[in-house]
Amino acid sequence: MPLEWEQVIVDAADPVALGRWWAEALGWVVVDDASDEYEIRPAPDRLPGLLFVPVPEKKTIKNRLHLDFRPDDQAAEVARLLSLGARHADVGQGEQPWVTLADPEGNEFCVLGRRQG
């Protein structure tokens, strides 16, 4: 029996605000704008999506799972994400060819360089 990847669940202090931020950052569409389950997808009928749900506790340590993105122009994309409210994040990665950022609630993600070859 095959599995279909439906979505990634993101705990959030403010699911609507964080979901809107990620929708703008990724250029995705909102498919459910409820305050307790705010879901975005690449297109209304395309999976997987990101589902933002409320949690009372604050994020305190680095993510156990994070997303990596590979844009055509790493520097331009990092600048764009920073202008949207992302910030640089240090999770002990040292000097690497990728850039680690955090979204407005502190969830880390990486912006990779151009694929070689």
Taking residue 29's Cβ as centre, other Cβ atoms within 10 Å add up to 14
3-state secondary structure of 38: strand
d(CA 75, CA 78): 5
1-56: CATH topology: 2,3-Dihydroxybiphenyl 1,2-Dioxygenase; domain 1 (3.10.180)
Question: Is there a contact between 79 and 65 (Cβ–Cβ < 8 Å)?
Answer: no
The two structure tokens encoding residue 99: 């850039």
Q: Which architecture characterizes domain 65-117 according to CATH? A: Roll (3.10)
> Which pLDDT band holds residue 95 (cuts at 50, 70, 90)?
confident
Among positive and negative, which fits the CA dihedral 89, 92, 95, 97?
negative
Q: How confident is the model at residue 96 (pLDDT cuts 50, 70, 90)?
A: confident
Tell me, what's the pLDDT at 117? 66
Better pLDDT: 16 or 117: 16
Predicted TM-score (pTM) above 0.85: yes
73-100: average pLDDT? 92
Mean residue pLDDT across the chain:
94
**In the chain, where are the structural domains located?**
1-56, 65-117
